[in-house]
Structure 1
Amino acid sequence: MQPFLILLVAALGWLAILLTACGVGFLLVAALAFRRFFAAARPAPVRGEAVTLLKPLYGAEPRLFDNLATFLAQSHDAPLQLVLGVQRADDPAIAVIADLKAAHPHAQIDLVIDATSHGASGKLSNLINMDRVACHPIVILSDSDIAVAPDYVAQVLAALDAPGVGAVTCLYRGRGDAGFWSLMAAAGVSYQFLPGATFGVAKQLATPCMGSTIALRRETLDAIGGFARFADVLADDYAIGESVRALGLTVAVPPMLVTHACDEASFPALWRHELRWAATVRDLTFWPYVGSIVGLPLPVAVLAALYWPAAGLALALAAIFARWVVVRTIDAAVGTRVASFGIALLHDFAAFAVYIASFFVRSVDWRGATLTMKQDGRIAAVTEH
């Protein structure tokens, strides 16, 4: 048995060294791909199509008013309807909406308060209830924690106009709104998720559809079965994208960024959020998710150092340099520092722990509900807490 253990340790050590070397190369290539992808950004003309913006809400996030206000500050020459939905009459978001209406008296802001459930996903139930008041032929759905630039609608509509495009989604960067742990989350979004996702899109290795933005025409939404079709799906955004592609259409990803406002105020909140996301991706694309470990070369280099200290240390320094290149590239594109470099490195180790734990998870927490993940990508509500 002892020779077998020696061979096993040696194999794992060399695997860690190989993965670290590949990871360093990947981070550097991803940073370059990110720079080239967003270099293609172009101004979009002001548009004249009527648009409905759907924003399902749950509670009052730290900068909810500011985030929602960005959707009313659009360069747009046609009717713009903002539909906001909650499922409880005592939801704290209602007070924020009242302030928003007072600050924008001429904007069309419709509030839907409806507790009707249509499936295990509270978000989709909310959307189904909201959709009945949507009155324009173009629908743009985005999560409550998204903030956008004034040319957002114009850019999205320009991408939606391209031949063969059935929907538009957007890449996003993080912004910490609730202290240290939210900055950790923002570092993960900006310095880990964003370069990898951009690389996948740029190299046509990934076909994302994300809750940061899903824009589509009413006839396309009807053709995929409306929101009701996804009422029991955990990754509803991904499923909507797959349904659009099943029609023979594409999901466009224009070279623009929106902002994801991170509000994790504690480590448990950060852990639950990232574990839910990781387990969801694991079930959607298992083998690519297994391979995503190359995006975390620093913690793997530390493991390699346990087998070969000199090589592990050298690779760890290379991994730190590669992450620094990514951080500098992203911050330059965003125009501000998302998080400190130390937080970025710390998040690498937290993300590695999440990666390992995600292979053992069959239920996730989603805004107070525990959801059991089924084999077909669907979910079942277990309990409220």
Structure 2
Amino acid sequence: MIHILHLSGHALGWLAIVVAALGVVYSSAAAIVFKRYFASATPAPVRHEAVTLLKPLYGDEPRLYDNLASFLTQEHHGPVQLLCGIQRKDDPAIQVVAALKAAYPAADIDLVLDGTVHGASGKLSNLINMEPFIRHDTVVLSDSDIAVAPDYLAQILRALDAPDIGLVTCVYAGRGDTGFWSHFGAAGVSYQFMLGLVFGVANKLAAPCMGSTIAMTRETLRRIGGFTRFADKLADDYAMGEAVRALGLEIAVPAMLVDHAFDETSFAALWRHELRWGATVRDVAFWPYVGIIIGLPLPVAVSSVLYWPTIGLILCALAVVARLVVVRNVDATVGRRIAPWWMALAHDGMSFALYIASFFVRSVDWRGATLTMKTEGRIVAAHKIQNAEQRA
């Protein structure tokens, strides 16, 4: 038995070394690919199409007004409808929308206040309630924590024009809005998740669809069944992308970044947020998610020290250098320092723990609601489970 355990530990040690070494190579290559991908960006001409911007809202986020205002200051010559959806009459986001209307009196800003519930997802219920009020043929959906540059619509519309493109989505950089933990989360998404995403897109290994932007025509939205089809999907953005691809259309990811705001004020809040992300990706793309481990060379290298100290320490040093190259390239591309460099290394440790934990999670927290994960990416709200148990 001791001999078997020794051999098992020996194999795990070598596995950790191999994974860490691959991770160092991957991180270095991904940093280069990231910089080159966005270096290919070119200015897009100002457009005249009529566009509806969909904004499902919930609560008054720290910079919600600024986020929404960035969509009203576009270099765009056509009609733009900003359609906001809110489900509660006492939601403070209502006052933010009112402030926007006062500050931009010429803007076409509509508010749908409807608490009707459709399925387990509050966000999708909101979108389903908003859908009948869409007025224009180009629809651009984005989360409330997204802020954009003035050429955002021009870039989106140009990408949507390309042959066989049915949907456009955007890569995002993290922005910390509420202190330490929000910056810590921004470091993780920018120096790790975003890096892997661009590497996959650039090498045609991934065709993501993310809530940062989902742009399509109203006809395409109709053909995929409208928002109602996704009412019980946790990864609703991924499911919309898959539905568009099932039509024989492709997803475009232009060389453009938007900002994704983090507002977590505690470790617990950030942990819940990122655990939900991890569990969601695990359910929709299990084997690619397993491979994400190579994006965490430092914690894997640290674990290899337990088995092969000398090799492990060398790999740790190389992993640190590779991650610092990532930080430098990402910050240079984004045009600002997202977070202190050491946060990238510290967040790798948290990501490793989250990665392990995500394989054992069957329920997630979503804005205070507990959602239980079922088969095929479906979710059920906790109150619905309780009602079903009571009826039984």
Q: TM-score, normalised by structure 1?
A: 0.99
> 1:172 aligned to 2:172?
yes
Structure 1, residues 194-239: CA drift from partner, whole Å, max 9, x if none? 1100000000000100000000001100000000000011100000
SS at match of 2:305: helix
C-alpha distance in structure 1 between counterparts of 2:43 and 2:220, whole Å: 26
Cα distance in 2, alignment partners of residues 355 and 74 from structure 1: 38
- Deviation digits for residues 64-114 of structure 1 (CA, Å, limit 9, x no counterpart): 000000000000111100011111000111111111111111101111111
The structural deviation recorded for 1:131 is: 1.4
Deviation at 1:32, TM superposition (A): 1.0
Name stretches of at least 5 consecutive residues in structure 2 with no aligned partner: 385-392
**SS of the residue aligned with 1:167?**
strand
The list of structure 1 runs, each at least 4 consecutive aligned residues, that deviate by more than 2 angstroms after superposition, is none
Q: How does 1:4-83 map to 2 (within 5 A)?
A: 4-83=4-83
| 1:328 match | 328
Tell me the residue number matched to 1:283.
Answer: 283
Cα distance between partner residues in 1 of 2:313 and 2:87? 52
Q: Is 1:129 paired with 2:129?
A: yes
- State how 1:103-122 maps to structure 2 within 5 Å: 103-122=103-122
Task: Report the count of equivalent residues.
Answer: 384
Alignment of 1:313-324 (within 5 A): 313-324=313-324
The DSSP-based 3-state class of the residue aligned with 1:55 is strand
Partner secondary structure for residue 306 of structure 1: coil
- Structure 2 residue 272 is matched with structure 1 residue 272: yes
Letter in 1 for 2:312: G
Q: How many angstroms apart in 2 are the aligned matches of 1:265 and 1:144?
A: 18
Q: Is the 8 A contact 1:176 1:263 kept in 2?
A: yes
Report the equivalent of 1:353. 353
Distance in structure 1 (CA, Å) of the matches to 2:375 and 2:18: 32
Deviation at 1:383, TM superposition (A): 3.8
Shift of 1:185: 0.6
RMSD, aligned α-carbons: 0.8
Q: SS of the counterpart of 1:232? A: coil
TM-score (norm 2): 0.97
1:309 deviates by 1.3
Deviations 1:283-324 (A, max 9, x none): 111111011000001011110011111111111110000000
> 2: distance between equivalents of 1:250 and 1:375?
26
Shift of 1:375: 1.4
Matched-pair contact (CA < 8 Å) for 1:278–1:355: yes
8 A Cα contact 1:224 1:243, kept in partner? yes
In structure 2, the residue matched to 1:149 is 149
Structure 1 portions without partners, runs of 5+: none
1: CA distance, partners of 2:218 / 2:104: 27
Q: Percent identity?
A: 68
Give the counterpart letter for 1:350 in structure 2: M
SS at match of 2:18: helix
Matched residue type, 2:84: L
